[in-house]
Structure 1
């Protein structure tokens, strides 16, 4: 059976929910298809100690302020999950959980959205599948010969899983710093943190509020033809959240340069130094989850789809939201995605009004 609808939103995390909020305000008929069986998006898969970079009041989706979490300046992942579940229910958003979209194809005047449960014909599509389902692992020599455990950020949960072990954490971004700090603070794990370049910590008073403002200012400068301000990257790579700050100040968070290869029992540097390891945790980032859009043949050599704002250049009926700055400044953040979702809903409403 094929369902007819104005808009299909693919992905029920923060970007998908913000899209649904604004599509509802525009009076459009839409459905949200989400592969996860429960609300919360990628937040329900995060590690146990993860906290937001910003206070609750600066981490909200449109229309509904995130309530503060008792005893916490920066809410934890569980609080975010509860907020997203409440948001979905509060606005009665038509999210179909446990529905995985396999492909989006052109079908005359509509786009055909093929899922594992049914098919939809839509006049427009918003893809908001994020990156969490596509972890990136670098091609480091010897990676297949290492006899210990190898896992990515997506698989990490808690230090208790590594008690008494020697763990190498790879990655100089927020995930690498936070997971290395989490393990080091536990005191029962021997941690080695390695980064491609010396870690750059942001000033201690910088959090998600300032980062959003900086990212927005950069986008405005570029849109106006002014010089690139450098954006968030000009400030540093790592937000000094309390656990990271505590480990750094205690001398527990000192990075070594990236090793040159793995061996069966550990890692080896170019100068011949070796270190044994029971596990390697790759905090090496993600790629956008766009395989469902492959039939549209829109991806460039960078792996991204060319966009004007959130709209795909090669397919004006398609919008992409929440994948990173290439789909709008701070689009992968709770506070940043709302304005972009509003713009996408407005553009879609204007498109449908003329077709």
Structure 2
């Protein structure tokens, strides 16, 4: 495979975390490239369901250096608006994004990390992995999954309620995706919403701003050895965005406990009762997309790599950005990724300056 060149930093992933990293790497004066597997800008936002909207107003959903403009007529911007914002952000800062380039493996190579892709090989003095989780949907092992003859899909495959109009649909998951998709379907489908525990809604006046503050306060408490505040989880599981609030208040979001198995025609609960279904939508979360880092031998529990902040404990030249609180408070959000991106760039600049 041909060599594409040598840079200070290779950023793997061109979504919101990768762009935030690029912004701070440029400010740090480092040479870098961003390798993105997508064909077009926008990261995972370009693949979400049609009605998805942000939890916060545009001004509180911004990457470093550039406020997201408001969307006309919408208090909470939709996914298409986010894609436009990320596209403009990438162009505004002339970030060196190469796409579509799929990173296949990262290896140690003496003083460098060798980044092998489907087109060429890069050598870097440091790597920031910012691949997110969207490409690794998780579906739990539930008895009977192979027996069910209806449609099964994950959050990543859901698009709009008209695809299920008039059908019996079971939505599994008590987080934001589950609540939003259940609310989306409530008017067009015969909905059964299933959750592991009773849904926990955040107060109606809480949005992404409060969630970011809660996540930051928790990280600060842990870093200072104080009592764990519980962070976002202490507030609830579901942000009551307007569509969810409307469906809930209309009595359309009544959750059922988790079933014990799937049958050929639907699901069965522990007491033997059954419900038929044409489709089951699994809103059951994701795992970090880190297979490209396997050659480094750093894998930890649940697919996480042990880190201190964003830096991998077993490889100081590697930083992980945007995967959740374990790589920075609220780092999987637009507003939250800026601070850990700045810290990662600062640490990398310090490390490379010492070489």
TM over 0.5: yes
Deviation at 1:163, TM superposition (A): 1.2
Does structure 1 residue 55 correspond to structure 2 residue 87? no
Deviation at 1:97, TM superposition (A): 1.4
Q: Which runs of 4+ in 1 moved over 2 A?
A: none
Question: What is the rounded CA distance, in whole Å, between the counterparts of 1:188 and 1:22 in structure 2?
Answer: 45
Q: Secondary structure at the match of 1:302?
A: helix
Q: Secondary structure at the match of 1:336?
A: coil
Question: What is the rounded CA distance, in whole Å, between the counterparts of 1:103 and 1:91 in structure 2?
Answer: 28
Q: Residue in 1 aligned with 2:224?
A: 224
Q: Residue in 1 aligned with 2:11?
A: 9
Deviation at 1:254, TM superposition (A): 0.6
Deviation at 1:27, TM superposition (A): 1.0
Q: Secondary structure at the match of 1:16?
A: helix
Instruction: Map 1:57-72 onto structure 2 (within 5 A).
Output: 57-72=59-74
Q: Residue in 2 aligned with 1:336?
A: 336
Does structure 1 residue 297 correspond to structure 2 residue 334? no
Q: Deviations over 1:158-204 (max 9, x none)?
A: 001111110000000000000000001xx221110000111100000
Instruction: Map 1:115-194 onto structure 2 (within 5 A).
Output: 115-184=117-186, 187-194=187-194
Deviation at 1:302, TM superposition (A): 3.3
Q: Secondary structure at the match of 2:295?
A: helix
Q: Deviations over 1:187-223 (max 9, x none)?
A: 2211100001111000000000000000000000000
Task: Give aligned pairs, total.
Answer: 353
Q: Residue in 2 aligned with 1:249?
A: 249
Q: Residue in 1 aligned with 2:306?
A: 306
Q: Residue in 1 aligned with 2:101?
A: 99
TM-score between both structures, scaled by the size of structure 1: 0.99
Q: Secondary structure at the match of 1:126?
A: strand
Question: What is the rounded CA distance, in whole Å, between the counterparts of 1:129 and 1:301 in structure 2?
Answer: 18
RMSD of the alignment, in Å? 0.5
Q: Deviations over 1:263-307 (max 9, x none)?
A: 000000010110000000000000000000000000123321110
Q: Residue in 2 aligned with 1:90?
A: 92
Structure 1 unmatched ranges of 5 or more: none
Question: What is the rounded CA distance, in whole Å, between the counterparts of 2:324 and 2:206 in structure 1?
Answer: 20
Q: Residue in 2 aligned with 1:317?
A: 317
TM-score between both structures, scaled by the size of structure 2: 0.99
Q: Secondary structure at the match of 2:303?
A: coil
